Each structure stands twice: as structure tokens, then as C-alpha cells.
Amino acid sequence: MARSGIIGGVVAALVIAGAVLGVVLVWRPAIAAIDPPSPQSFAPELVKRGRELAALGNCNDCHTVRGGKNFAGGLPVPTPFGTIFSTNITPDAETGIGRWSEGAFRRAMRLGVDRQGRHLYPTFPYDHFTNVTDEDDRALYAYLMTREPVVAAARPNQLRFPFNQRVVIAGWKLLFLHRETYHPDATKSAEWNRGAYLVEGLAHCGACHTPRNALGAERTKVAFSGGEADDWSAYAINTKSPAPVAWDADALDFYLRNGWHPDHGTARGPMAQVVKNLAAVPASDVHAIAVYMADVFGVPHAARDRAAVVAEARSGVGRAPDSEGAAIFAAACASCHDSGRPPPYGGINLALSSAPSAPDPRNLVNIVLAGVRPVEGERSPIMPGFAGTMNDQQIAVLVNYLRSRFTSQPPWGGFEKTIEEARRTQTAYLTTSAAPTSAPASATQRDKP
């Protein structure tokens, strides 16, 4: 008792000392406000470069509300600790970043501190942006400062105590923010290094694809092992990939540029937004990302080629033939999937899809409920949603059938909650997919320099 009391006291003292030290160590001063620079003061070339970098960083996805003004902020970002609202990053002097110097902007990108010296929540993925070079930050700044200024005050965050205290972020940073510039790996090609710089930094692929710990930080030791994004699971994109056919650099390059691949299907949900943004990025950068990611995926397993996967699926056609699931599949799905019509307008053989073979059924349920649509503005869906025509029990039966028919994985079981949740949270994301309607160029960036 006495002993644990002493230990408790020591621990408490250490915690307090640590907190004080933490605050002192990470205290940041305000950076003087400037008069908003004139848009003409930025070289057009720099602004153009900044536009490409902003697309790589998905800045618009978080800082633009659907149907709202570009970069005016206000998007609610749900976290396990409450809801954080993105801020206005247009050059409006009062409500945006118009009075931020380039130095203040760079500090925000590297250290997650605003101009006034307040710590920013890592929902803003500065744990990745911290590696961005001076040059690239300059271009991003030039791009943002030449956007249309929008008057839009920040919405107050809705966070529980103690997470609503920004000083808590200081402690988080001590633990998890490791400011580092990118160190090229001399044993790899220039293209690989370019890809690594982008994937680990501005493109922040791991923000969705890496699992997080209880404090919301990425578990970097298991980077790319699969994470969550909105109401989707972001599959593992490393050696743990659930993809029945192994991803290689060519497939990645095609998928990232077009939003689909004949051996893998289409990008949906948050990934559709990522691909849409990549359409505004130089092809060489997308290729570099593909080269680096192919290395992260590892050496393809020889047995996992398309022909083998499809042949195996076909040989399993009779599996559970009289079941209710088989009947639903035959009536509702079979005519389109593996009809011989190529994707994105023909559905792929589901034995090729990561959706039935993933560790959880979330994406499969999302797709069955909401269907798949081409890019925004297109009227007809390319796959209808079944939310209105199937009840939860039928969806569960179908999902179980797809798992046993198209994969050799054990049944999921106990996912009634997933179906309920997916029905509830059919978010705006469910209405779009990156499947292009014509050339990839049709997937437009929301604005031009």
C-alpha cells in the first residue's frame, strides 16, 4: 500500500514534470501578421507547380465542403475523440490565411502550429507533410495565396475533455511527430526515391492505409497494413494485401491514373477522391509513386496471377449451388460480373476483387448497398445499389456466399452491425467512384490556377 503510494507519487511527479517540460519544449511564438501579398507577386510557374502539389496532398478534399467554396474549410472530420472542422485556407485576411507569411505556412506544414502559435490537430496530416521541401512548400503557398479569398470563419471543434485542450497536442507531438526531411536511399533509383518522398510525405497514403494506435497516431512499424477512412476500410497495401492478384508497378500506375484496373476493379469512396486528384498530377510523379509502392507490396507471388485466380473461381461455380446466397447472386449480380464486358462498365469476376477477400466485409457491404457510380455529374450508375431492394438478412446471406464462393478465407461471421452501420452512414462518398467516363483527363481538379 505505502509502496504503491510512493510509486504513485513518483509517477504523478514525473507526469507533471513531463507535461511542464513538454509545454516548454514545444511552446511556439506567434509569427507576425503580414499584409496579404498580391496574387501578381507569385510567378505563374510556381503557382502551377503548387496546384499539382495541392492535388497530391488532397488539400481540397478536407478543406472544401461539398458544394462549398474551394478551400474555405468547414468540413467535419470525425475522429475517435470528437469532430474536428477543417479551416479556411483561402487568402482571406480575417478568416483565412491571408496574413500568414510563407514562414508561417511552412511552420504549419512541418510542425502543425498555426500563425498565432497554437498547436493544430494532426487530422491535418502534418506528420506526413513535415518532410516537404522548402521549394515545394513555397509552391503550395503561392498556389493557396492566389486562390479566391473566401470569408468563412472556422467552426468550433466538438471534442471531449481533455482532447479539446490544444496543449494535449504538444504531448502527442513529442511522442509521434518526428520532423525529418527526406533522406534519399542511395541504393535505389531516382524514381523510387521520388515516389518514397511523395508517398511518405505530401500524398500521405499511410494516413488511411496504416493502422492507428489508441492515441490516433499511425503505427509506423506496421505501415500500410490496412487502416480506415471515413466508413471504408483502406486495404493493406503491403505484403498483407488481400488482392487475389498481386499488384505490380504497371497495375498501380494504371489504377492510380484511371481509377480502375482489369485485374483489380475500381477505386471507390475516399480512394476515388485520391485518384481524381492524381489526374492533375504529372504522369511521372504518379509513376514514381507506383514504383515505390510496388516495392512496398513486395515481390509478386507466382501463383497469384489472373488466369489462375479466375480459373479457380470458375471451377468453384457449383459451390453451394442451391443455397439462398447462390440464388440471390444469380438473380442480382451474375449477369454483370464476369459478363465479358471489360471494367469499369463491366463488373469484374469477383474472385479478382479485394472486397470479398479483405479481413472485414465493410467495403463489400458498402458496394452492395450503394452500387458504383462513375465520376460526379454522370447520371447513370455503372452498378445499381441494392439498399432499397434487399433487406439486411438477404445482404448477410449474399455476403457470406460471396466470401465462400470467391475466396478461400474463413467466413466473417457476426457482421450484422456492419450492415446496420453501412446503411446509416451512406455518406456523400458513396455516390462517387473514380471510374472515368472517358479519358482520365475528364476527372477534373476542382479549380484551375
What is d(CA 5, CA 8) in angstroms, rounded to the nearest whole number?
5
26 near ligand HEC, rule: CB under 6 A = no
- Count the alpha carbons within 13 Å of 32 in the hemisphere toward its beta carbon: 2
Number of amino acids touching ligand HEC (CB under 6 A)? 75
CB nearer ligand HEC, residue 17 or residue 376: 376
Which window, 9-17, 35-43, 171-179, 267-275, contacts ligand HEC (CB under 6 A)?
A: 267-275
- The answer to whether the beta carbons of residues 39 and 48 sit under 8 Å apart is no
Q: Least distance (Å) from ligand HEC to the CB of residue 189?
A: 18
Which window, 7-15, 42-50, 55-63, 299-307, contacts ligand HEC (CB under 6 A)?
A: 55-63
264 near ligand HEC, rule: CB under 6 A = yes
- The answer to whether the beta carbons of residues 185 and 174 sit under 8 Å apart is no
Which position among 152, 203, 246, 281 is part of the footprint of ligand HEC (CB under 6 A)?
203
The torsion of the CA quartet 143, 144, 147, 148, rounded to 10 degrees, works out to -170
64 near ligand HEC, rule: CB under 6 A = no
235 near ligand HEC, rule: CB under 6 A = yes
279 near ligand HEC, rule: CB under 6 A = no
**CB closest to ligand HEC, residue no:** 265
Q: Where are the alpha helices (DSSP H) in 27-133?
A: 44-56, 59-63, 102-111, 126-129
266 near ligand HEC, rule: CB under 6 A = yes
Which window, 172-180, 235-243, 298-306, 420-428, contacts ligand HEC (CB under 6 A)?
A: 235-243
DSSP designation for 342:
P
Cell numbers of 277, please? 486528384
Report the site for ligand HEC in 373-392 (rule: CB under 6 A): 382-384, 386
Burial 199-212, CB ≥16 within 10 A → b, else e: bbbbbbbbbbbbbe
Q: Least distance (Å) from ligand HEC to the CB of residue 410?
A: 19
Backbone angles phi, psi at 431, to 5 degrees: -90, -5
350 near ligand HEC, rule: CB under 6 A = yes
In whole angstroms, how far apart are CA 107 and each of 321, 403, 430? 61, 48, 35
Which window, 1-9, 41-49, 182-190, 341-349, contacts ligand HEC (CB under 6 A)?
A: 341-349
337 near ligand HEC, rule: CB under 6 A = yes
Cell numbers of 273, please? 477522391
**Kind of pairing, strands 76-79 and 260-261?**
unpaired
407 near ligand HEC, rule: CB under 6 A = no
Report the site for ligand HEC in 109-168 (rule: CB under 6 A): 114, 120-121, 123-125, 140
